[in-house]
Amino acid sequence: MSHYAKVFDGKVVQVMPAEPEFFNTFVDTSPGTWIQTSYNTHGGVHSAGGTPLRGNYAGIGYTYDATHDVFYAPQPYPSWTISAPTWTWTPPTPMPTDGKIYKWDEPTKTWVVA
């Protein structure tokens, strides 16, 4: 079964599973457009080895970028930037990989031990 995201003003407001034929008879008078999304697509990669669809599986509150035809999550922090081709948010500095647990500290724009 396919999944579709309802997009209004560039934001996902609803996500539901449906077959494409459903939209031939479905009466929806609320504003927005239904766009297919793939449950198996995350970070620009299809988890089952197929062709990724629109960057990421859409979620409520996600952005739909019509120029690039992708969905991406809300920005977690103001200093983070969106990165193509994964369409995921990237911090200004990478998280350390020393085995400790870190959290992002936005005021200092650094990783701190949790």
- Tens of pLDDT, residue by residue over 76-108, are 999 999 999 999 999 999 999 999 999 999 999
Q: Is the pLDDT of residue 58 over 90?
A: yes
Please state the domain extents for the chain: 1-74, 76-114
**pTM passes above 0.85:** yes
State how far Cα 19 lies from the chain centre.
21
